[in-house]
Amino acid sequence: MPLPVLDAPAPGQPAPPSFEPYRRLSDDELTARCWAAKKQLGDRLLILGHHYQQDEVIAFADLRGDSYRLASLAAESKACRYIVFCGVHFMAETADILTGPEVQVVLPDLAAGCSMADMADIDQVEACWEDLGEVLDTMDIMPVTYINSAANLKAFCGARGGIVCTSSNARAVLDWSFAQRSKVLFFPDQHLGRNTAKKMGIPLDEMVLWDPLQPQGGTTPEQLRQARVLLWKGHCSVHQMFKVQHVEFFRQHHPAAQILVHPECAMEVVDLADLVGSTEYILRTVREAPAGSEWAIGTELHLVNRLKAEHPDKTVHFLSTMVCMCATMYRIDLPHLCWVLENLVQGVVVNRIVVPPDVAINARLALERMLTVR
Protein backbone atom coordinates (compact mmCIF):
# COMPACT_ATOMS: atom_id res chain seq x y z
CA MET A 1 0.00 0.00 0.00
CA PRO A 2 1.51 3.40 -0.94
CA LEU A 3 2.46 5.52 2.02
CA PRO A 4 0.61 8.84 2.33
CA VAL A 5 2.27 12.10 1.44
CA LEU A 6 1.23 15.61 2.23
CA ASP A 7 1.27 17.65 -0.94
CA ALA A 8 -1.24 20.29 0.10
CA PRO A 9 -0.91 23.20 2.56
CA ALA A 10 -2.25 22.92 6.08
CA PRO A 11 -5.51 24.74 6.90
CA GLY A 12 -4.95 28.47 6.84
CA GLN A 13 -1.92 28.27 4.55
CA PRO A 14 -2.06 29.81 1.09
CA ALA A 15 -2.37 27.43 -1.83
CA PRO A 16 1.03 26.72 -3.39
CA PRO A 17 1.78 28.27 -6.74
CA SER A 18 1.40 25.89 -9.66
CA PHE A 19 4.47 23.95 -10.68
CA GLU A 20 3.83 24.34 -14.41
CA PRO A 21 5.22 27.89 -14.83
CA TYR A 22 8.59 26.68 -13.50
CA ARG A 23 8.98 24.44 -16.54
CA ARG A 24 9.20 27.53 -18.74
CA LEU A 25 12.04 29.18 -16.83
CA SER A 26 15.60 29.06 -18.12
CA ASP A 27 18.26 27.14 -16.21
CA ASP A 28 20.01 30.41 -15.39
CA GLU A 29 16.87 31.91 -13.85
CA LEU A 30 16.06 28.72 -11.98
CA THR A 31 19.60 28.55 -10.59
CA ALA A 32 19.50 32.16 -9.42
CA ARG A 33 16.11 31.72 -7.78
CA CYS A 34 17.18 28.49 -6.04
CA TRP A 35 20.21 30.23 -4.54
CA ALA A 36 18.06 33.14 -3.42
CA ALA A 37 15.51 30.86 -1.75
CA LYS A 38 18.25 28.82 -0.11
CA LYS A 39 19.80 31.97 1.31
CA GLN A 40 16.44 33.15 2.71
CA LEU A 41 15.78 29.82 4.40
CA GLY A 42 19.22 29.77 6.01
CA ASP A 43 19.91 27.10 8.61
CA ARG A 44 16.23 26.10 8.70
CA LEU A 45 16.94 24.20 5.47
CA LEU A 46 19.15 21.18 4.83
CA ILE A 47 19.45 19.90 1.27
CA LEU A 48 20.67 16.30 0.99
CA GLY A 49 21.87 15.10 -2.41
CA HIS A 50 22.52 11.57 -3.58
CA HIS A 51 25.58 11.09 -5.79
CA TYR A 52 23.43 10.01 -8.75
CA GLN A 53 21.77 13.43 -9.03
CA GLN A 54 22.29 15.72 -11.99
CA ASP A 55 25.17 18.17 -11.60
CA GLU A 56 22.94 21.25 -11.65
CA VAL A 57 20.88 19.82 -8.76
CA ILE A 58 23.62 18.41 -6.56
CA ALA A 59 25.33 21.79 -6.70
CA PHE A 60 22.75 22.94 -4.13
CA ALA A 61 23.31 20.05 -1.72
CA ASP A 62 24.62 20.99 1.70
CA LEU A 63 25.63 17.36 2.14
CA ARG A 64 26.01 14.62 -0.42
CA GLY A 65 26.52 10.90 -0.13
CA ASP A 66 25.25 7.40 -0.84
CA SER A 67 22.24 5.86 0.89
CA TYR A 68 24.15 4.92 4.05
CA ARG A 69 25.84 8.29 4.49
CA LEU A 70 22.65 10.24 3.85
CA ALA A 71 20.72 8.10 6.34
CA SER A 72 23.41 8.82 8.92
CA LEU A 73 23.34 12.53 8.16
CA ALA A 74 19.56 12.66 8.46
CA ALA A 75 19.77 10.95 11.85
CA GLU A 76 22.33 13.51 13.03
CA SER A 77 20.35 16.54 11.83
CA LYS A 78 19.53 18.89 14.72
CA ALA A 79 19.19 22.50 13.63
CA CYS A 80 17.15 22.31 10.43
CA ARG A 81 13.38 22.33 10.16
CA TYR A 82 13.15 21.31 6.50
CA ILE A 83 15.06 18.57 4.72
CA VAL A 84 14.80 18.73 0.94
CA PHE A 85 15.93 15.32 -0.23
CA CYS A 86 17.35 15.23 -3.74
CA GLY A 87 17.13 11.49 -4.16
CA VAL A 88 14.26 9.03 -4.38
CA HIS A 89 11.19 8.13 -2.33
CA PHE A 90 12.66 5.49 -0.03
CA MET A 91 15.50 7.85 0.93
CA ALA A 92 13.08 10.60 1.90
CA GLU A 93 11.08 8.06 3.93
CA THR A 94 14.26 7.06 5.75
CA ALA A 95 15.00 10.69 6.57
CA ASP A 96 11.48 11.16 7.94
CA ILE A 97 11.83 8.04 10.11
CA LEU A 98 15.19 9.07 11.56
CA THR A 99 14.42 12.72 12.29
CA GLY A 100 12.24 14.28 14.95
CA PRO A 101 8.64 15.46 14.45
CA GLU A 102 9.83 19.06 14.17
CA VAL A 103 11.60 18.25 10.86
CA GLN A 104 9.57 18.13 7.66
CA VAL A 105 11.02 16.12 4.76
CA VAL A 106 10.33 17.15 1.17
CA LEU A 107 10.90 15.20 -2.04
CA PRO A 108 10.98 17.67 -4.96
CA ASP A 109 9.26 15.24 -7.35
CA LEU A 110 7.01 12.52 -5.95
CA ALA A 111 7.57 10.47 -9.12
CA ALA A 112 11.20 9.89 -8.10
CA GLY A 113 10.93 6.26 -7.03
CA CYS A 114 13.16 3.20 -7.31
CA SER A 115 12.48 0.27 -9.61
CA MET A 116 14.36 -2.08 -7.31
CA ALA A 117 12.31 -1.02 -4.29
CA ASP A 118 9.16 -1.70 -6.31
CA MET A 119 10.23 -5.32 -6.86
CA ALA A 120 9.24 -6.25 -3.30
CA ASP A 121 6.05 -5.10 -1.62
CA ILE A 122 4.75 -5.81 1.85
CA ASP A 123 2.06 -8.27 0.69
CA GLN A 124 4.63 -10.33 -1.22
CA VAL A 125 7.11 -10.36 1.67
CA GLU A 126 4.46 -11.32 4.22
CA ALA A 127 3.26 -14.11 1.90
CA CYS A 128 6.87 -15.29 1.52
CA TRP A 129 7.32 -15.33 5.30
CA GLU A 130 4.15 -17.38 5.72
CA ASP A 131 5.26 -19.86 3.05
CA LEU A 132 8.68 -20.18 4.66
CA GLY A 133 7.01 -20.89 7.97
CA GLU A 134 5.44 -24.03 6.49
CA VAL A 135 8.91 -25.49 5.91
CA LEU A 136 11.27 -23.67 8.29
CA ASP A 137 11.25 -22.12 11.75
CA THR A 138 11.03 -18.42 10.91
CA MET A 139 12.47 -17.61 14.34
CA ASP A 140 15.74 -18.88 12.89
CA ILE A 141 15.56 -16.65 9.79
CA MET A 142 16.91 -13.09 9.94
CA PRO A 143 15.00 -10.73 7.62
CA VAL A 144 17.38 -8.24 6.02
CA THR A 145 16.14 -5.54 3.70
CA TYR A 146 18.39 -3.42 1.53
CA ILE A 147 17.86 0.28 2.24
CA ASN A 148 16.42 0.50 -1.30
CA SER A 149 13.00 -0.58 -0.03
CA ALA A 150 9.75 0.89 1.23
CA ALA A 151 9.35 1.93 4.86
CA ASN A 152 6.83 -0.83 5.54
CA LEU A 153 9.44 -3.45 4.55
CA LYS A 154 11.90 -1.89 6.96
CA ALA A 155 9.14 -2.08 9.58
CA PHE A 156 8.59 -5.75 8.70
CA CYS A 157 12.23 -6.42 9.52
CA GLY A 158 12.23 -4.27 12.63
CA ALA A 159 9.24 -6.11 14.09
CA ARG A 160 10.97 -9.48 13.62
CA GLY A 161 14.37 -8.59 15.04
CA GLY A 162 15.71 -7.86 11.56
CA ILE A 163 17.79 -5.10 10.10
CA VAL A 164 18.42 -2.81 7.13
CA CYS A 165 21.67 -2.88 5.17
CA THR A 166 23.36 -0.75 2.53
CA SER A 167 26.02 -1.64 0.02
CA SER A 168 28.53 -0.07 2.43
CA ASN A 169 27.77 -2.37 5.36
CA ALA A 170 26.15 -5.46 3.80
CA ARG A 171 29.03 -7.73 4.92
CA ALA A 172 28.85 -6.46 8.49
CA VAL A 173 25.07 -6.85 8.53
CA LEU A 174 25.28 -10.46 7.32
CA ASP A 175 27.94 -11.23 9.92
CA TRP A 176 25.63 -9.72 12.56
CA SER A 177 22.70 -11.74 11.25
CA PHE A 178 24.48 -15.09 11.19
CA ALA A 179 25.74 -14.53 14.72
CA GLN A 180 22.11 -14.74 15.81
CA ARG A 181 20.29 -16.99 13.33
CA SER A 182 21.25 -19.70 10.87
CA LYS A 183 19.46 -18.29 7.80
CA VAL A 184 18.94 -14.90 6.17
CA LEU A 185 16.08 -13.71 3.97
CA PHE A 186 17.67 -10.92 1.89
CA PHE A 187 15.54 -8.57 -0.20
CA PRO A 188 14.97 -6.92 -2.64
CA ASP A 189 18.36 -7.04 -4.45
CA GLN A 190 19.56 -10.55 -5.21
CA HIS A 191 22.93 -9.41 -6.54
CA LEU A 192 24.11 -7.53 -3.47
CA GLY A 193 23.03 -10.47 -1.33
CA ARG A 194 24.70 -13.09 -3.52
CA ASN A 195 27.92 -11.15 -4.04
CA THR A 196 28.26 -10.38 -0.33
CA ALA A 197 27.50 -13.94 0.80
CA LYS A 198 29.90 -15.39 -1.76
CA LYS A 199 32.68 -13.10 -0.57
CA MET A 200 32.02 -14.41 2.95
CA GLY A 201 32.71 -17.94 1.69
CA ILE A 202 29.12 -19.15 1.51
CA PRO A 203 28.85 -21.54 -1.47
CA LEU A 204 26.27 -20.96 -4.17
CA ASP A 205 24.48 -24.22 -3.36
CA GLU A 206 23.67 -22.72 0.04
CA MET A 207 21.84 -19.85 -1.61
CA VAL A 208 18.39 -20.06 -3.18
CA LEU A 209 16.46 -17.54 -5.27
CA TRP A 210 12.93 -16.72 -4.12
CA ASP A 211 10.67 -15.59 -6.96
CA PRO A 212 7.60 -13.86 -5.46
CA LEU A 213 5.63 -14.49 -8.65
CA GLN A 214 5.98 -18.27 -8.37
CA PRO A 215 4.22 -20.65 -5.95
CA GLN A 216 6.49 -21.19 -2.92
CA GLY A 217 8.92 -18.81 -4.58
CA GLY A 218 9.80 -21.40 -7.21
CA THR A 219 11.73 -23.38 -4.58
CA THR A 220 11.50 -26.83 -3.05
CA PRO A 221 11.46 -27.65 0.67
CA GLU A 222 14.84 -29.36 0.26
CA GLN A 223 16.38 -26.23 -1.24
CA LEU A 224 15.02 -24.09 1.56
CA ARG A 225 16.35 -26.41 4.26
CA GLN A 226 19.80 -26.49 2.67
CA ALA A 227 20.05 -22.75 2.00
CA ARG A 228 21.66 -20.31 4.38
CA VAL A 229 20.80 -17.28 2.23
CA LEU A 230 17.35 -16.82 0.69
CA LEU A 231 17.67 -14.24 -2.07
CA TRP A 232 14.73 -12.21 -3.36
CA LYS A 233 14.40 -12.02 -7.13
CA GLY A 234 15.03 -8.29 -7.53
CA HIS A 235 17.73 -6.14 -9.11
CA CYS A 236 18.87 -2.61 -9.92
CA SER A 237 17.85 -1.61 -13.44
CA VAL A 238 21.05 0.44 -13.80
CA HIS A 239 23.62 -2.05 -12.54
CA GLN A 240 22.14 -5.03 -14.36
CA MET A 241 23.12 -3.31 -17.61
CA PHE A 242 26.81 -4.06 -17.06
CA LYS A 243 27.80 -7.30 -18.77
CA VAL A 244 30.79 -9.64 -18.99
CA GLN A 245 31.47 -8.46 -22.53
CA HIS A 246 31.95 -4.90 -21.27
CA VAL A 247 34.68 -6.10 -18.93
CA GLU A 248 36.25 -8.16 -21.70
CA PHE A 249 36.26 -5.13 -24.01
CA PHE A 250 38.25 -3.06 -21.54
CA ARG A 251 40.62 -5.94 -20.79
CA GLN A 252 41.41 -6.10 -24.50
CA HIS A 253 41.40 -2.42 -25.50
CA HIS A 254 42.41 -0.73 -22.24
CA PRO A 255 44.60 -3.30 -20.46
CA ALA A 256 45.93 -0.69 -18.02
CA ALA A 257 42.44 0.16 -16.76
CA GLN A 258 41.32 -1.21 -13.42
CA ILE A 259 37.73 -2.45 -13.41
CA LEU A 260 35.78 -0.96 -10.47
CA VAL A 261 32.13 -1.93 -10.04
CA HIS A 262 29.23 -1.65 -7.61
CA PRO A 263 28.11 -4.86 -5.81
CA GLU A 264 24.60 -4.49 -7.30
CA CYS A 265 26.14 -5.75 -10.56
CA ALA A 266 25.63 -9.39 -11.53
CA MET A 267 27.98 -11.95 -9.96
CA GLU A 268 29.64 -12.72 -13.31
CA VAL A 269 30.68 -9.07 -13.64
CA VAL A 270 31.74 -8.74 -10.00
CA ASP A 271 33.89 -11.87 -10.28
CA LEU A 272 35.83 -10.35 -13.18
CA ALA A 273 36.31 -6.91 -11.63
CA ASP A 274 39.49 -5.77 -9.94
CA LEU A 275 37.66 -3.90 -7.19
CA VAL A 276 34.07 -3.96 -5.93
CA GLY A 277 32.41 -1.56 -3.52
CA SER A 278 29.69 0.89 -2.62
CA THR A 279 29.28 4.33 -4.14
CA GLU A 280 31.35 5.88 -1.35
CA TYR A 281 34.02 3.23 -1.88
CA ILE A 282 34.12 3.99 -5.60
CA LEU A 283 34.48 7.72 -4.94
CA ARG A 284 37.20 7.22 -2.36
CA THR A 285 39.13 4.76 -4.52
CA VAL A 286 39.30 7.11 -7.50
CA ARG A 287 40.01 10.14 -5.32
CA GLU A 288 42.96 8.41 -3.63
CA ALA A 289 44.31 6.75 -6.79
CA PRO A 290 47.62 8.01 -8.18
CA ALA A 291 47.69 10.51 -11.02
CA GLY A 292 47.86 8.81 -14.39
CA SER A 293 45.87 5.77 -13.28
CA GLU A 294 43.09 4.46 -15.51
CA TRP A 295 39.67 3.25 -14.44
CA ALA A 296 36.62 1.62 -16.02
CA ILE A 297 33.71 2.07 -13.62
CA GLY A 298 30.45 0.15 -13.49
CA THR A 299 27.90 2.37 -11.78
CA GLU A 300 25.46 5.18 -12.55
CA LEU A 301 26.41 7.48 -15.44
CA HIS A 302 26.09 10.86 -13.69
CA LEU A 303 28.44 9.71 -10.95
CA VAL A 304 31.03 8.40 -13.41
CA ASN A 305 30.91 11.60 -15.46
CA ARG A 306 31.35 13.65 -12.29
CA LEU A 307 34.39 11.58 -11.32
CA LYS A 308 35.81 12.15 -14.80
CA ALA A 309 35.36 15.92 -14.46
CA GLU A 310 36.67 16.13 -10.89
CA HIS A 311 39.80 14.04 -11.55
CA PRO A 312 41.31 15.23 -14.85
CA ASP A 313 44.68 13.79 -13.80
CA LYS A 314 43.20 10.28 -14.15
CA THR A 315 41.52 8.50 -17.03
CA VAL A 316 37.98 7.50 -16.12
CA HIS A 317 35.81 5.41 -18.43
CA PHE A 318 32.19 4.37 -18.17
CA LEU A 319 32.19 0.56 -18.25
CA SER A 320 29.15 0.09 -20.48
CA THR A 321 28.68 1.11 -24.10
CA MET A 322 25.05 1.91 -23.24
CA VAL A 323 23.68 4.85 -21.27
CA CYS A 324 23.02 3.61 -17.73
CA MET A 325 21.60 6.41 -15.65
CA CYS A 326 19.06 6.19 -12.86
CA ALA A 327 15.95 7.47 -14.63
CA THR A 328 14.03 8.00 -11.39
CA MET A 329 16.84 10.00 -9.78
CA TYR A 330 16.88 12.05 -12.98
CA ARG A 331 13.34 13.26 -12.19
CA ILE A 332 14.71 15.65 -9.58
CA ASP A 333 15.49 18.69 -11.68
CA LEU A 334 15.92 22.44 -11.30
CA PRO A 335 12.23 23.31 -11.90
CA HIS A 336 11.07 20.95 -9.13
CA LEU A 337 13.82 22.06 -6.75
CA CYS A 338 13.04 25.74 -7.31
CA TRP A 339 9.31 25.12 -6.86
CA VAL A 340 9.65 23.41 -3.48
CA LEU A 341 12.24 25.91 -2.19
CA GLU A 342 10.19 28.97 -3.10
CA ASN A 343 7.16 27.39 -1.47
CA LEU A 344 9.16 26.86 1.72
CA VAL A 345 10.12 30.55 1.69
CA GLN A 346 6.38 31.29 1.72
CA GLY A 347 5.84 28.84 4.56
CA VAL A 348 4.13 26.28 2.33
CA VAL A 349 5.37 22.67 2.44
CA VAL A 350 4.66 20.73 -0.74
CA ASN A 351 5.54 17.10 -1.48
CA ARG A 352 6.12 16.33 2.16
CA ILE A 353 6.92 12.68 2.87
CA VAL A 354 5.24 11.31 5.99
CA VAL A 355 5.67 7.75 7.24
CA PRO A 356 2.74 6.65 9.44
CA PRO A 357 3.74 6.39 13.11
CA ASP A 358 2.94 2.68 13.42
CA VAL A 359 5.23 1.95 10.45
CA ALA A 360 7.92 4.38 11.57
CA ILE A 361 8.35 2.78 15.02
CA ASN A 362 9.43 -0.62 13.71
CA ALA A 363 11.25 0.78 10.68
CA ARG A 364 13.30 2.94 13.01
CA LEU A 365 14.31 -0.16 15.01
CA ALA A 366 15.69 -1.81 11.86
CA LEU A 367 17.46 1.38 10.75
CA GLU A 368 19.00 2.01 14.16
CA ARG A 369 20.37 -1.53 14.15
CA MET A 370 21.88 -0.76 10.74
CA LEU A 371 23.55 2.40 12.02
CA THR A 372 25.20 0.52 14.89
CA VAL A 373 26.67 -2.23 12.70
CA ARG A 374 30.08 -1.51 11.22
The per-residue pLDDT for range 311-328, each reduced to its tens digit, is 999 999 999 876 544 555
Cα 281 to chain centroid distance, Å, stands at 15
C-alpha distances in angstroms, 228 versus 136, 205, 231? Answer: 12, 9, 10
pTM: 0.85
DSSP 3-state percent helix, strand, coil across the chain (nearest 5)? 45, 15, 35
pLDDT digits (tens, 9 = 90+) for 78-114: 778 999 999 888 889 988 998 888 999 999 988 876 6
DSSP 8-state class, residue 79: S
The CA-based diameter of the chain, rounded to the nearest angstrom, is: 66
Contacts of 109 (CB under 8 A, 6+ apart): 331, 332, 333, 336, 351
Q: Is residue 337 within 8 Å of 108, Cβ to Cβ? A: yes
Of 33-42, 102-111, 232-241, which has the strongest mean pLDDT?
33-42
Quote the CA–CA distance of 301 and 311 in Å, as a whole number: 15
Q: Is the dihedral of CA 165, 299, 310, 55 positive or negative?
A: negative
- Among 21-25, 79-83, 112-116, 274-278, the range scoring the smallest mean pLDDT is 112-116
Per-residue confidence band for 8, with pLDDT thresholds at 50, 70 and 90: very low
**The predicted structure's pLDDT at residue 6:** 37
Q: Are 84 and 46 in contact (CB under 8 A)?
A: yes
Q: Cα–Cα distance between 87 and 54 in angstroms, integer?
A: 10
The CA distances from residue 270 to 24, 102, 266, 294, in Å, are 44, 43, 6, 18
Q: Let me know: does 279 contact 49? Beta carbons within 8 Å.
A: no
Alpha helices in the chain (DSSP H): 27-41, 55-58, 67-76, 89-98, 122-133, 151-159, 170-178, 190-199, 221-226, 244-253, 267-272, 279-288, 301-310, 334-345, 357-372
